[in-house]
Homo-oligomer: A and B are copies of this chain.
Amino acid sequence: MDVKTFCLAVLSLGAATGYEIKKACEEGCFRHFYAAGFGSIYPALAVLCRDGLASVVTEAQEGRPTRKVYRITQKGRLALADSLLGTPTPDRVRSDFLFIAFFAHLVPPRHLDTLIRDYRTRIATQLTELEARRAEARAPGEAFTLGYGIAVYRAMLEYLDQSGPILIGEILRQGLSPLRDGDPPVSGEAAQ
C-alpha cells in the first residue's frame, strides 16, 4: 500500500489536512503498521486531487497557518474500495533491535542490557497507547487492528522479560567473541 492509498483511506474516515494525516500515522491508530512523512504525504495528496480522487478547500485561520482540508470524492471511494480488494503484499518488518540482538556475542554485555531495557520501554509505551485507543475505536476494523497490536506487544514484553536476562547471562558467561586475526578459516556452510 503506497502513501497515496493510505491518504485516500484516511480521508475515507473524514476530511483531513496533510498535517492531520501525518499525525494519524505517528500517533494515531495506524502507528503500529504504517508510517509516512510529510515529504510523501503532501505530494500524494496533490496527486489524489489531480486524479479527482480527492478535493481540497483552503481554510484561512486566525492566529494559525492556513490549512488545506482534503475530502475524498465518490471516484476516490470507488478507487479505495478497489485497492482494498487487491491481494495484500506480505508484511514487512525491519528491526534493528533484533538484528543487533542476533549478534549479541559481538556486543558488550553492558550495552546489550541497555539496549534491551530501552527497547522494552518503547514497546511498553506503545502498548499503553494502543490500549488507550481501543476504548475509542469506532469501526470494527479499528478495534480488530488495535487488538492485534496489543496482543503482539504483550507477547513481546513477556518474551523480553523472560528471555532478555537469559540472553545477557549467556553473553556474560561466554565473554565477548574475540575479533579473529584474519579471514574466517573455513569456507561454505555459513549463511545457509
Contacts and interface: CB of A to CB of B under 8 A. Distances in A.
Nearest to A85: B111
B139 A105 contact: yes
Interface string A132-171: 0000000111101101110110111011000100110011
Contacts of A23: 191-192
Interface of A: 1, 6, 9-16, 20-21, 23-24, 28-30, 32-35, 55, 69, 71-74, 77-78, 80-81, 84-85, 88-107, 111, 115, 119, 122, 139-142, 144-145, 147-149, 151-152, 154-156, 158-159, 163, 166-167, 170-171, 174, 179-184, 186-192
Most buried by B among A30, A85, A91, A174: A91
| Number of identical monomers bound together in the oligomeric complex | 2
B14 A102 contact: no
Given A13-B191, A151-B159, A156-B151, A93 B96 contact: no
A103 B151 CA distance: 19
B106 A96 contact: no
Contact of A33 (B99, B149, B155, B192): B99
A147 B163 contact: yes
A16 to B, nearest CB: 4
A149 B147 CA distance: 19
A100 B71 contact: no
B141 A180 contact: no
9 closest A-B pairs by beta carbon, nearest first, are A14-B190, A88-B96, A155-B155, A104-B141, A24-B191, A33-B95, A140-B170, A151-B159, A16-B191
